[in-house]
Amino acid sequence: MAYQRLILFLGFLLFLTNPVKSQLDEELHFNGFNGVASNMSLNGVAEIEPNGMLKLTNDTLRVLGHAFYSSPIKFKNSTDGKAFSFSTAFAFTIVPEYPKLGGHGLAFIISPSKELPGSLPSQYLGILNATVVGNFSNHIFAVEFDTVQDFEFGDINDNHVGIDINSLASNKSTPAGYFTSQNSTKQSLNLKSGHVIRAWVDYDSVKNQVTVKLSPNSIKPASPILTFDVDLSPIFQDFMYVGFSASTGLLASSHYVSGWSFKMNGDAKSLSLDALPKLPGPKKTHTGVIVGVSVSALLVLILGIGLAFYIIHRIKNAEVIEAWELDIGPHRFTYQELKHATRGFRDKEVIGFGGFGKVYKGTLPNSNTQVAVKRISNESKQGLQEFVSEIASIGRLRHRNLVQLLGWCRRRGDLLLVYDFMPNGSLDKYLFENPKAILSWEQRFRIVKGVASGLLYLHEGWEQTVIHRDIKAGNVLLDSELNGRLGDFGLAKLYEHGSNPTTTRVVGTLGYLAPELTRTGKPTPSSDVFALGALLLEVVCGRRPIEAKAMPEELILVDWVWDKWRDGTILDVVDPRLGGEFDELEAVVVLKLGIMCSNNTPKARPTMRQVVRYLEGEVALPEVVLSPGAYDGRKDSKGGGEFEDYVHSYPTSSYFEKASAWSCDDADVDFEAASSSSPLSVSGRNGGSCPR
């Protein structure tokens, strides 16, 4: 009996000291975090500062920080599996590296784990990653305070509050703000203002409702800014961890939590801003003025001022190694290296320019390697986002038909990209108007096959699908052997294989834009194929997709080629500067393929794998070709009856007979005839407003 009593007593002591908080009224209250380090679990870059401020992230790029209460809390009734009500209040501050740019935000989070293994920074807020986002098995509940608009997750703006369940695509969100009274107008609130903001998150298990309130002061608003009806019982496990997560991306913010209270089945205690630790003020430089009558004292003062100016100059021009360089890969050059390589960015070294800025020829001082330095101007529309896109995409790509990115540099407002130098410049200089030299047919055919091979690698050969979005002759560069290399990835779009790209703004160059982009805004591999079709035709014809100085019937290149095709005079479109010296069968293959790629209907275009196989002679082109404008019963302009969508092709079988591994298997070709003309037909036949 005494033995049993001893066992019960020891069990009671174990219950009292057990770190698992099973009480239904569990309560936390931290006016600052001094002396509570043992109660908090920190990882990433999160730390508790000497004054008690919880700092989740600093101004380092692409980092995350977690801070959880170290013991799990019981969130569900073991009997019926119903989630309990909870309430939390906290004070946070977001201090961006650049006043108007946040990165990325913080979140109050309830999670089955306090480590969040595999979580990523940037848009994932240190909570999830790309492979698990959206999975029901995550059992994640979060309220995000986001300062970057991420299109991947459908963010409404760059200053919003959202309720997230198992995903970073918010179930419901609203612009940050608050109400001063019950029926007052919503006041806006800048999350990245650098000032303390109070937040309250409450869950009512009877109403099955989550509410979020914000305030720039200690007064709790009467009305929430965000209300979401949801039963959290399926989301919560019996025991969960509560805390905070924050992250930075290519822009950084320091995320602070100065106070926090939490309570199960009741209202969290209020926080007094006066009792909370304060953010450190800006560092002040105190200049001591020594007034003396001696000459030596005056000299010391002058020397001191001179030294101070020198130090300030050095600090101002110092370059900081960015953390995200490690994730991207290519070398980070110093600004001085590139300035020296380009001889101070002299105008004499300019080898190209555009809306982004200028491209300079340079020679690296240590290796004597010739490079091309793309300097993005402050006025350019291609700003930080495109700069980062170009590094993130081409920086890790490796293919003989892609221009190799060697490195980059970012110094305050200067954004610079360093590439392999292409001594023969861009392809358009050899095709249009008064070319520097006439490319032979063999050179042209090799160039189009090389570009197609590089584009196939982008679409299918890399770890992600890369959509270039700006394929044109000006972005095809020629190396010392006149091989074609695809460059300029400033507009590139990356997404996982098998997924759908998000809607984005329409970008690119007129004449190369697929007609569906004007309706959907979604770039796809097929829209790249459309642009390649325009490129194939201009390489053969030596003319731009839209030739402003041409006769009306020759204004749109693909229309002119199509008209010649159906008339049986297709070879008339071949660049006359070749003097008739070209392989007729190869020319017909490229022209026919150009028409197929230029079809207004995406499903009627071949894939890049099919394009490469056609150009290499591995399979034969279809015997019939679909009208690029999807005519659908349009009257033949030459009169006399209906003009059919399908016409017999120029014979090309003998070209494939020359291939050593010829196979005429059309089973993999699945082209659908267009059922009607596109309402935004880029050929202009149907009243479209976007000419090809």
The predicted structure's pLDDT at residue 508: 67
**What is the CATH topology of the domain spanning 427-494+518-668?**
Transferase(Phosphotransferase); domain 1 (1.10.510)
When pLDDT is cut at 50, 70 and 90, the band that residue 565 belongs to is: very high
- Give 112 or 292, the one with higher predicted confidence: 112
Q: What is the mean pLDDT of residues 310-339?
A: 59
pLDDT in tens, 627-664: 887 433 333 433 333 333 334 334 444 444 443 333 33
In the chain, where does the domain assigned CATH 2.60.120.200 lie?
A: 21-275
Output the pTM of the full model.
0.49
Gap between the Cα atoms of 357 and 375, Å rounded? 6
The arithmetic mean of pLDDT across residues 198-225, rounded, is 94
**Between residues 485 and 11, the one the model is more confident about:** 485
List the single range of 314-318, 334-338, 517-521, 638-642 with lowest mean pLDDT: 638-642
| Record: fold of 325-420 | Phosphorylase Kinase; domain 1 (3.30.200)
Alpha helices in 542-621 (DSSP H): 557-567, 584-597, 608-615
Which part of the chain is CATH 1.10.510.10?
Answer: 427-494+518-668
- Give the span between the Cα atoms of 414 and 660, in whole angstroms: 52
Q: Summarize pLDDT for 483-541 with one digit per residue, the tens.
A: 999 987 766 666 656 666 655 556 667 788 888 887 777 888 999 999 999 999 999 99
Per-residue pLDDT at 11: 52
Q: Which two tokens stand for residue 417?
A: 């990209």
pLDDT of residue 657: 42
Tokens of 556: 């749109």
CA dist., res. 197 & res. 179, Å (int) = 14
pLDDT in the model for residue 462: 77
Outline which parts of the chain fall under CATH 3.30.200.20. 325-420
Both tokens of 228, joined, read 């979401």
Q: What is the pLDDT of residues 381-404, one digit of tens each?
A: 455 555 565 565 567 778 889 888
pLDDT, position 4: 56
pLDDT for the residue numbered 643: 33
**Burial classification of residue 274, based on how many CB atoms lie within 10 Å of its CB (0-12 exposed, 13-18 middle, 19 or more buried):** exposed
Q: Say yes or no to pLDDT of 288 above 70.
A: no
Which residues carry out catalysis?
A: 470
* pLDDT number for residue 384: 56
What is the maximum alpha-carbon separation in the chain?
A: 112
| pLDDT given at position 233 | 96
pLDDT at 439 over 80: yes
pLDDT in tens, 609-624: 999 999 999 988 888 7
Q: In a 10 Å sphere around its CB, with 0-12 CB exposed, 13-18 middle and 19+ buried, how is residue 59 labelled?
A: middle
Q: Say yes or no to pLDDT of 290 above 50.
A: no
* pLDDT attached to residue 466: 85
Q: In whole angstroms, how far apart are CA 61 and each of 65, 184, 337, 366, 678?
A: 12, 39, 23, 29, 45
Q: What is the mean pLDDT of residues 418-433?
A: 89
Q: What is the pLDDT of residue 199?
A: 96
Q: At 292, is the pLDDT very low, low, confident or very high (cuts 50, 70, 90)?
A: very low
pLDDT at 178 over 90: yes
Cis peptide before 104 (omega within 30 of 0): yes
Give me the pLDDT at residue 282, please. 44
Question: Between 462 and 297, where is the model more confident?
Answer: 462
Across 393-415, b (16+ Cβ under 10 Å) vs e yields bbbebebebbbbbbbbbbbeebb
Confidence of residue 141 (pLDDT cuts 50, 70, 90): very high
Is the CATH code 2.60.120.200 the one for domain 21-275? yes
The confidence band for 232, taking pLDDT boundaries of 50, 70 and 90, is very high
- Is residue 209 pLDDT above 80, yes or no? yes
Tell whether 374 is in a known binding site: yes
Q: Quick one: what percent of the chain has pLDDT higher than 90?
A: 42
